[in-house]
Chain A
Amino acid sequence: MDAATLQQKIYGGYGKAALRIGPVYNLYHPTSAANPISPATWLGTLNASFNAQDMTYSKPNLYGKPLWYALLDGTQTQVGDYLVNDDKTFFIAAQQDTLPILAVECNRTLNIFRPQQQVDAGVNPYGGTIDANQTELMTAWPASVLQGTKGEKGDAPLPGDVRLPWWAILLPAYPGVNLLTADIITDDINRRYIVSSAELSDLGWRLTCMQAQT
């Protein structure tokens, strides 16, 4: 048996197991940097079951742990695809040879912007990012946004202020979109983040962000 056949049999086994124990998910394959979950990106449905990094189904997932092992027919999915049902949203982070499929649970939906770029020779507009002059890089991408490890004081020490939290963000990579330090992220509950470090690996983007607050 060669590696390809073995891989197909593994995914086929995953798929059969998911049919028996996993609920139905909608499968989406992002086709642009905007709105990865939409009728245009819907591929169909499939059964999937997720467990907390333990194929024995013996441990619950814990706080701050976004990673899950996915039991699903991996021949139908690709890295970066989203699985969505009424209850949960995941994206496929990795489908490595002969290894379990790695998925990331998403708890927020993000928009990502590039701050104002001064591009003209000679006189340019006032140097400062505002809604009108920032460029939207990614729109409405579900992502994992979990607490980071540190915090620091903001630039406007107000009486009610506490240290600003840091956040660890995971989301799929999309070809052609290169996230940079100082990019701005907003989420579906009106929080605003600024990217401190942006790591791109075959698992997708891993961002360290500071909450941007007055």
Chain B
Amino acid sequence: MSDISEVLDILATQIAGHVYPNGTGQPSVTGQTVKVYPGWPTSSSLDKDLQNDVVNVSIFPIGPERNTTRYAPKSQVMSVVAATLTLTAAGNTIAVGGAMPAPFTPHNMAVLIDGKAFIYPVQATDSLTSIATGLAALIAQTWPGTTSSGAVITLQAGATVQAARVGTTGTTSTEWERQSQRVQITVWAPDPTTRTQVGKAIKAGFAQISFLTMPDGFGARCRSTGQMPTLSDLLEKAKAYRRDLFYDIEYATTVEQQVATVVTVETDYQTPTGQTIFDIDT
């Protein structure tokens, strides 16, 4: 899930990109070092930097958080583990192929025969042969005469394979809440010129960004907002020229879940009184 601390981290990396347009190994927009970080500076460090013409950019949330949740929670598939095993049907045979996952990840081997699903959950100690043996044993309970030899399952005559599928696991993420938090970006520069250079780079950079992508994969709306004052020369005597930029960041609070991928769907047909007429797997 995203948290305000991750918002600050993302802003710091974005700002670093704006003030070092050619990378941190190349000169910054001021030609001098620019330090970007979440949190506030310490006076002793900042004063030393200012005397050496180093600009600091600090980032901190300001003001209360605003709940902007609008929609009912909805899960999004974020990732699916790629299957390493395969299941191939040909005529009345089904072959288990591929390779056992290393390191082990869950796989479900599903065979659909005449509207009924047979699902074998692969064990960490399995081999292709033992998978075929296990799956054949499941099918044989309904279709006696089903046997396996090595990694190949042979069905009894008359059994029709509708589908052979391999399922794995994946990650889904649900947005439960969305909130808007104002963030204060403060440029601490040793002179008005470098303050302008850094402030302009940040302003122009964020003007082109509508959404930040958070570590949970969800977008966070990024909008500049006004708050007085933006420039302050009060610290001129300490050789500090300050500019404050304010952005409202609207980000999601999400919860991730590990789930198995769907390999078959069971449909239960019932009478109006709830009596089962028949089940069918697809």
- Report A's interface with B, CB cutoff 8 A: 126-132, 154-156, 158-161, 182, 184, 190, 192, 194, 212-214
Which of B41, B233, B238 contacts A192, CB < 8 Å? B238
| Residues from chain B with Cβ under 8 Å of A128 in the complex | 191-192, 233, 236, 241
Give the contacting residue for A214; candidates B43, B191, B192, B233; CB below 8 A: B43
Specify which chain A residues have a CB less than 8 angstroms from the CB of B41 in the assembled complex. Answer: 158, 214
Cross-chain contact A192 with B234 (CB below 8 angstroms): no
Task: Find chain A residues with CB under 8 A from B233 CB.
Answer: 127-128
Chain A residues contacting B234 (CB-CB under 8 Å) are 155-156
Q: How far is the CA of A41 from the CA of B41 in the complex (A)?
A: 43
Contact: A158 with B51, CB < 8 Å? no
Q: Which applies to chain B's interface (DSSP): helix, strand, loop or mixed? A: mixed
Which 7 A/B pairs are nearest by Cβ-Cβ distance?
A130-B191, A155-B234, A212-B238, A212-B237, A194-B237, A160-B42, A126-B192
CB of B236 within 8 A of CB of A213, answer no
A residues in contact with B191, CB < 8 Å: 128, 130-132
User: B196 — nearest CB in chain A belongs to which residue?
Assistant: A126
- How far, in angstroms, from A127 to B236 measured CA to CA in the complex? 10
Can you list 30 A-B pairs, Cβ within 8 angstroms, ordered by A? Answer: A126-B192, A127-B233, A128-B191, A128-B233, A130-B190, A131-B239, A132-B191, A154-B43, A154-B235, A155-B234, A156-B235, A156-B242, A158-B40, A158-B41, A158-B43, A160-B42, A160-B43, A184-B237, A190-B47, A190-B48, A192-B51, A212-B238, A213-B43, A213-B238, A214-B41, A214-B46, A214-B47, A214-B50, A214-B235, A214-B238
Q: How many residues of B contact A (CB 8 A)?
A: 24
Q: Which residues of B contact A (CB under 8 A)?
A: 40-43, 46-48, 50-51, 188, 190-192, 232-242
Chain A residues with CB under 8 Å of B40's CB are: 158-160
CB distance from A196 to the nearest CB of B (A): 11
Report the Cα distance A160→B43, complex, angstroms: 7
A161-B43 contact in complex given A156-B234, A214-B50, A214-B188, C-beta closer than 8 Å: yes
